[in-house]
């Protein structure tokens, strides 16, 4: 597809549709004319382009069925944006494998919204953000480790059509500017050293990546300098 070509309408399953990230991805995708299958335990409201499906991802068979059946055809892509509090590494890895299993052989692209901890630390490429106390204080290390395990599960899986999107250090609700910087596997920081994006602009990047897949399997995004997330 050339940069000027209008992307075709996709069917996008969003697992974690009620969450901070998933709800914004759903809104962004529907606003661009894509169909959304919105998956979560607590279903979202049905709209013209959004089909809510209640599913508990701790049940792999129910999740597989939800990913491959509810609108009569398998989605073109799945966005995985689940989180538990406290972090449950086994749940995250197991859910990631189930999604990749369902996607394998059906031509479904999987976009995992993962963690910043899996990125290389700026200024020290040998060090992961997860191991850098400048970005990940001790109490957040289990969360960062779960994100690393999730990326590892993607790398070890036989289905190759996935991309792992690491947010910057700070990801929170804010405003949609429609602009962002895109990188690969190193944390992006602004001139003042901060690393952040609004969940709205992250959603823009997610849908951009689904419409025009890049070559990298690990990507990151950050706000353009001069735009605050809040």
Ligand X SMILES: NC(=O)c1ccc[n+]([C@@H]2O[C@H](COP(=O)([O-])OP(=O)(O)OC[C@H]3O[C@@H](n4cnc5c(N)ncnc54)[C@H](OP(=O)(O)O)[C@@H]3O)[C@@H](O)[C@H]2O)c1
Enter the tokens of residue 123.
Answer: 């200024």
**Segment 124-163, which members bind ligand X (CB under 6 A)?**
none
What is the C-alpha to C-alpha distance for residues 209 and 113, in angstroms, rounded to an integer?
Answer: 12
Q: Please, which residue, 43 or 213, has the CB nearer to ligand X?
A: 43
Q: What minimum distance in Å lies between the beta carbon of 63 and ligand X? A: 8
Q: What minimum distance in Å lies between the beta carbon of 55 and ligand X? A: 6
Q: Which residues pair with 92 in a beta bridge?
A: none
What is the C-alpha to C-alpha distance for residues 24 and 16, in angstroms, rounded to an integer?
Answer: 10
DSSP characters for 88-117? -HHHHHHHHHHHHHHHTTTT-EEEEE--GG
Candidate residues 13, 78, 113, 153; the one interacting with ligand X per rule CB under 6 A: 113
Q: Please, which residue, 10 or 202, has the CB nearer to ligand X?
A: 202
What is the C-alpha to C-alpha distance for residues 8 and 27, in angstroms, rounded to an integer?
Answer: 17
**Segment 29-88, which members bind ligand X (CB under 6 A)?**
40-42, 55-58, 81-84
**Segment 170-199, which members bind ligand X (CB under 6 A)?**
171
Q: Please, which residue, 56 or 152, has the CB nearer to ligand X?
A: 56
DSSP characters for 196-209? EEEHHHHHHHHHHH
Q: Please, which residue, 34 or 115, has the CB nearer to ligand X?
A: 115
Q: Which residues bind ligand X (CB under 6 A)?
A: 16-22, 40-42, 55-58, 81-84, 113-116, 167, 169, 171
């Amino acid at each position: 597809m050339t940069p000027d070509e209008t992307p075709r309408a996709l069917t996008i399953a969003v697992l974690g549709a009620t969450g901070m990230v998933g709800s914004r991805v759903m809104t962004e995708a529907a606003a661009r004319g894509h169909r959304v299958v919105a998956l979560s335990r607590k279903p979202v409201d049905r709209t013209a382009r959004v089909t809510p499906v209640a599913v508990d991802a701790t049940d792999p068979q129910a999740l597989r069925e939800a990913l491959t059946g509810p609108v009569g055809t398998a989605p073109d892509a799945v966005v995985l944006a689940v989180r538990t509090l406290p972090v449950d590494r086994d749940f995250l890895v197991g859910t990631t494998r189930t999604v990749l299993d369902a996607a394998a052989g059906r031509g479904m692209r999987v976009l995992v919204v993962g963690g910043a901890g899996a990125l290389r630390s700026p200024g020290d490429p040998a060090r992961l953000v997860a191991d850098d106390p400048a970005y990940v204080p001790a109490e957040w290390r289990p969360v960062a480790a779960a994100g690393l395990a999730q990326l590892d599960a993607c790398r070890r899986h036989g289905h190759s059509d996935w991309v792992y999107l690491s947010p910057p250090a700070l990801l929170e609700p804010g405003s949609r500017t429609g602009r962002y910087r895109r990188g690969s596997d190193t944390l992006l920081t602004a001139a003042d050293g901060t690393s952040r994006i609004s969940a709205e602009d992250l959603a823009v990047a997610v849908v951009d990546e689904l419409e025009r897949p890049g070559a990298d399997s690990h990507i990151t995004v950050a706000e353009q300098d001069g735009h605050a997330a809040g």
